Amino acid sequence: MLIAGKPPEEIVYDGLETFEFSQFHPWHLNLAVEKSTDYILNFNESELRRKGTMTPQQKEKRQQLEDDFGRPDPKAIEKSTIEMFENLIGDQTHVTVYTDLHTQYSGPLQKYGDQVTHIKTSSKAHRGHHNNLFAINRHDMMLRHSSKNHTRETIAFSKRRQAGIYRAAVCSVYMNFMMDRRQRGVKGYTPAMARGVVDRKLNYSDVFECRLFVSHLELPPRWRQYYFRATITRALPRNKGHSLKYAA
């Protein structure tokens, strides 16, 4: 489905900030959504350093954790953005990208020159239908609503970032192919139908009709890493990967 349909001409891009293990380990779930269809085109993640207001004790604990496990890459979001748009833009003549004012989005998009028009919208602007970021804001809202591990104040954080990525993949399939694009108005019309990659709303039997093997498919490099559970959570002493040979 990644290569089905016409190349996207308008892409909305942003990161959903969430946590793994505890609030000392934030990360971004970066989403790229087609503006005209609400179809999730791609996603990846960026490990972050805890920021914001902290007590002296919290600052001390953060420093101790960084001494023990290392500090996340300060350019993680920029690197994830570069990789995201290498997969999405390719050799298209022109693409319009909508983001908020995050400083690490501009550099990766500037290198495309006239090939990309970058339109920025403040995250403080009213988040209605006329907001350029509406498509991504809607997906962020649905993810926080339907996945307890993405709620900001919770005891249900994903213990591993890898688990959060798996849940994001499941949510992407559901929201693209199985959930109505709008909860009011026309029913039975999904983002995948709007994009033209399927002709009807899929059900669970359609999704699980046959088994797909990763060795038979070409995945983006980051998604291949995700499939084999190669994303590490620093705070855990053991990060088990996916090494079952017959499952590939």
pLDDT in tens, 26-64: 999 999 999 999 999 999 999 999 999 999 999 999 999
> How far apart, in whole angstroms, are the C-alpha atoms of residue 35 and residue 238?
40
Residue 77 pairs in a beta bridge with none
223 in a domain, yes or no?
yes
User: So what's the pLDDT on residue 145?
Assistant: 83
Looking at residue 54, its pLDDT comes to 94
Domain count, the chain: 1
Is residue 5, in this structure, part of any structural domain at all?
Answer: no
pTM for this entry: 0.90
* pLDDT value, residue 94: 94
User: Is the distance from CB of 164 to CB of 29 less than 8 angstroms?
Assistant: yes
pLDDT in tens, 93-141: 999 999 999 999 999 999 999 999 999 999 889 988 899 999 999 998 8
Report d(CA 90, CA 8) in Å as an integer. Answer: 11
User: Could you tell me what percent of the chain has a pLDDT over 70?
Assistant: 98
Q: What percent of the chain has a predicted confidence (pLDDT) above 90?
A: 67
Q: Is residue 177 part of a domain?
A: yes
pLDDT tens digits, residue range 57-86? Answer: 999 999 999 999 999 999 999 999 999 998
Extended beta strands in 21-134, E state: 22-34, 40-47, 95-99, 116-120
Domain harbouring 218, CATH code: 3.30.420.10
What is the distance between the alpha carbons of residues 243 and 229, in angstroms, rounded to a whole number? 9
Minimal CA–CA distance to 76: which of 53, 58, 38, 102?
102
Residue 42 neighbours by CB distance under 10 Å: 21
**Cα–Cα distance measured from residue 244 to residue 223, given in angstroms and rounded to the nearest whole number:** 17
- Domain membership of residue 1 (yes or no) is no
Q: Identify the burial level of 162 via C-beta atoms within 10 angstroms of its C-beta, where 0-12 means exposed, 13-18 middle and 19 or more buried.
A: buried
Contact between 20 and 151 under an 8 Å Cβ cutoff? The reply is no
Give phi and psi for 164, each to the nearest 5. Answer: -65, -35
Locus of tokens 């953060």: 62
In a domain, 190, yes or no: yes
CA dist list (Å): 170 to 19, 164, 177: 18, 10, 11
What is the C-alpha separation between 164 and 154, in angstroms, rounded? 14
Q: Is residue 2 part of a domain?
A: no
User: What's the pLDDT at 43?
Assistant: 95
- The C-alpha atoms of residue 91 and residue 88 are separated, in whole angstroms, by 9
What is the domain range of residue 19?
10-247
- Mean pLDDT, residues 199-214: 91
For residue 144, the model assigns a pLDDT of 84
Q: What is the pLDDT of residue 245?
A: 78
Residue 130 domain flag:
yes
Give Cα 190 to chain centroid, integer Å.
Answer: 19
- Write down the pLDDT at residue 101: 95
